[in-house]
């Protein structure tokens, strides 16, 4: 009588099935992202055209800018979905933290203004300069934007978001 332990084989078959489901999910996410991004591109183009027809002081110009920001936010979310479905490698490079923080705050300034929230960002002092960090600046910026946008939603109109300093 010969006995064979097939438990390892069954475990490997389960892993293969999960992998196949993840591959199918990744393909489906890519298809959905493509279908959503096409109309988003049209919306962004039309909002840009609309904004160009008004002066920067007019309410319609600001509304077009908000629409463009909203489209960019949805596009980032789609990108995050795609990254989850098929992660890309880290793109680490030397980055000045202060510049990254200042630029990320600029990206949400229009959102904050439209919500009536005052942004108070104070860069690091030269007493304690932070050296360049080896990071994936795009991913850190995305994380910061998510944090900022969540904070903006939690702060009441007329409120204030302030940096705590480094």
46-50, 97-101, 120-124: range with lowest mean pLDDT: 120-124
Which H or E element spans position 75? helix 59-85
- Provide the 10 A C-beta neighbour count for residue 51: 19
CA distance 108 to 113: 9
Backbone angles phi, psi at 134, to 5 degrees: -90, 95
Residues 86-113 have a mean pLDDT of 86
* pLDDT above 60: residue 58: yes
- The per-residue pLDDT for 165 is 54
Q: Which of 3-7, 39-43, 44-48 has the lowest mean pLDDT?
A: 3-7
- pLDDT class for 150, splitting at 50, 70, 90? confident
Cβ-contact 68, 51 below 8 angstroms: yes
pLDDT digits over 126-148, tens only? 666 778 999 999 889 988 988 88
Distance in angstroms (rounded) separating the CA atoms of residues 52 and 67 = 13
Confidence of residue 95 (pLDDT cuts 50, 70, 90): very high
Q: Is it the case that residue 113 has pLDDT exceeding 50?
A: yes
pLDDT score of 110: 83
| Dist CA 95 CA 98 (whole Å) | 9
Q: Model pTM greater than 0.75?
A: no
User: For 46, phi and psi rounded to 5 degrees?
Assistant: -70, -40
């Amino acid at each position: 009588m010969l006995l064979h332990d097939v438990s390892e084989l069954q475990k490997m078959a389960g892993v293969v099935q999960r992998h196949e489901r993840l591959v199918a999910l990744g393909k489906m996410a890519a298809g959905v992202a493509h279908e959503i991004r096409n109309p988003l591109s049209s919306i962004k183009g039309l909002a840009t055209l609309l904004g160009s027809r008004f002066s920067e002081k007019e309410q319609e110009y600001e509304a077009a800018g908000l629409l463009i920001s909203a489209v960019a936010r949805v596009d980032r979310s789609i990108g995050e979905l795609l990254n989850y479905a098929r992660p890309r490698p880290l793109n680490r490079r030397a980055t000045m933290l202060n510049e990254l923080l200042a630029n990320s705050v600029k990206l949400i300034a229009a959102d904050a203004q439209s919500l009536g929230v005052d942004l108070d960002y104070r860069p690091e002092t030269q007493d304690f300069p932070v050296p360049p960090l080896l990071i994936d600046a795009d991913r850190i910026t995305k994380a910061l934007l998510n944090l900022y946008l969540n904070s903006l939603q939690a702060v009441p109109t007329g409120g204030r978001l302030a940096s705590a300093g480094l």
